[in-house]
Amino acid sequence: MLVPAAMIIYHLGFSVHSYLAAKVFPDFKVIECHPVNDDVEFIMNRLDGHREFLFHIDLSVQDRIPPRRAALIEALSAAGVKIHNGSHADQRKRFLQSITAELGFTPLTAAKTGDPDEKLIVKGDLNVAGGPERRTAARFPGLPLPPLPCRVCSPFEYYAARRRDIPDEVWADPTLHVERCVENPRGIVLRSFWNQGKGVVSIIENPNELVKKRNEKCRRWNYTAPADALTEAAFTRMRRYAENLRLSFFAADWVVDEEQVPSIVDLNLTAQWIVNPGTHTGNMTPELSIYDIPGALRL
C-alpha cells in the first residue's frame, strides 16, 4: 500500500497549527521561513526525503521570499519535488481584479469617474490591510515589503462611501483599493476552499454587515459539489483562478449580486482556521459542518 508523501509546509506567519493547511495536510513537516536570510542550500538540506513542498507565506507580496525564490523553485524541481503555490506571489486586490478581467469576468475595481451617487467601498490593497506585513517586519528588520497604507490600516476600517464623497487623495493612494459595492437582499456572500481539484463552497447569510467580517453566528451552507446555479458558478470560477494562477491550495471570499453572480474579493494562500464550537452556531448542512471542511479537502 502506498503511503501518501508528507507535505513540507514552508511557513511564515502565526503558529502553523492555526492555519487551514495544517488541518488539510496533517502529515506535514514545517520548515520555518526566515525571509531575509534563508538560502537555497539550507532549505534543500531540510527536505528529509519529502516530495511535496507548499509555499505558505503569510504576506500579500512574496516574490522575494526567500531572497532567491526562483533558484529555490528550480532546485526543488530538479530534485523531483512537487511544488505547490510557488508561482503566484502577489495577492493584492488590484492585481487579483486584473486577473479577473483577463478571465473575462467583471472586476470589482471601481473607476474614479462614474455615477457620483454610486456606493463604493474603500479597502487596503494588501490582504488584511497590511497587518501581516507589519507583524513580520517587526520580527525581521530589513524585510522587503510593498508600501503599507497609512490610512485604512485594518479590515475593520474599510468603509463605504458615495463616489462623490471619496477624496482625490484616496483615489491617488496606491496602497488603497476602491471597489464597487456588490450586494443582494439576503446579505449572501461566499467563502470557498480549494485543494488540488477538490473544493468546498460555503454560502454565508450575513445581512447585518456590508463588509462581512463577523460571520461566526451567521447561517451557513457548505457544499463539496454544485447544488444550484450560484454554487455551480463559484466552483467553476474557483477552478479557473486555480488554473490561471497555477495554484494548488487557497481560500477565497466572494460577493454576490442580485442576479446571484459571484465576484471574487480576496484570494488567500494562508487561510487561518480557528473554529470555536461555541460561536459557529449557524450550520445549516449537518452532512458537512464547518468543522468537517478540512477533511473534505483532503485527497
Total residues belonging to the chain: 299
What tens-digit pLDDT sequence spans the chain (299 residues)? 344 458 999 999 999 999 999 999 988 999 999 999 999 999 999 999 999 999 999 999 999 999 999 999 999 999 999 999 999 999 999 999 999 999 999 999 999 999 999 999 999 999 999 999 999 999 999 998 999 999 999 998 999 999 999 999 999 999 999 999 999 999 999 999 999 999 999 999 999 888 766 788 899 999 999 999 999 999 999 999 999 999 999 999 999 999 999 999 999 999 999 887 666 778 899 999 999 999 999 99
Locus of grid cell 497604507:
149
Give the pLDDT confidence of 7-45 residue by residue, as tens digits.
999 999 999 999 999 999 988 999 999 999 999 999 999
Give the pLDDT of residue 3.
Answer: 46
Give the pLDDT confidence of 94-140 residue by residue, as tens digits.
999 999 999 999 999 999 999 999 999 999 999 999 999 999 999 99
Which domains are seen in the chain, by residue range?
A: 7-84 (3.40.50), 109-180 (no CATH), 188-297 (3.30.470.20)
* Residue closest to 264 by CA, chosen among 106, 129, 135, 149: 106
Per the rule left: phi > 0, alpha: psi between -120 and 50, beta: everything else, 275 is beta
